[in-house]
Amino acid sequence: MVAPKTGVLALQGDFAEHLSVLESLGYRSQMVRSCLDLDVVDALIIPGGESTTMLKLIDRYEMRDALVKRVQSGMPVFGTCAGAIVLADRVSDGERTLGVWELQVERNAYGRQAESFEADIPVDGLDEPVRGIFIRAPIITDAGRSTVMATWAGQAVLVRKENLLAATFHPELAGEHRIHRWFVENLCSRGE
């Protein structure tokens, strides 16, 4: 049985850190910078970074339609921080996202860069809390029919629905591997 190949959208943001986590776990991975790259991966991680810039680059490289189609066809996708914004269908400032997930997100909800922080987040299904870094992080103000897997200060910070997983924090920057492992083992490996 061949393990799924997980792509990391590598247009902007902390894609290298996600690739490093996947590599350290022994998972097959590759950078995704075009529709051709997207065609050869089984799953995708959309990293943190600057969502406005990321979406502009998605459009510049004519990847929007292909990304939407792959998500709608069931490709597993994990979005962290800006990646959660890119997936959501409603953003506080009205930004035109991929709109593939019934989520309402408020960007920079914890404040500016100076208000960034780290926290230990209890996650449903994991024995020990995960370390997360919140950098100009969004808040999920409406998770729709998604399953909330973790909250922080009363707000949903890790949610899932079918083939989708989103975190408003960065586990990859904290050296945390368990959420990536959970993503690959529970969402990417279904049906193998």
Task: Report the catalytic residues.
Answer: 81, 170, 172
Ranges of H-type helices in the chain: 15-24, 35-39, 51-60, 64-72, 82-87, 178-182
β-strand 147-152 against 101-106: which pairing, if any?
unpaired
**Buried b / exposed e across 22-57, counting CB within 10 Å, b at 16+?**
beeeebebebbbeeebbeebbbbbbbbbebbebbeb
Distance, in Å, from the CA atom of 162 to the CA atom of 169, rounded to the nearest integer, reads: 20
What number of other Cβ atoms are within 10 A of residue 104's Cβ? Answer: 15
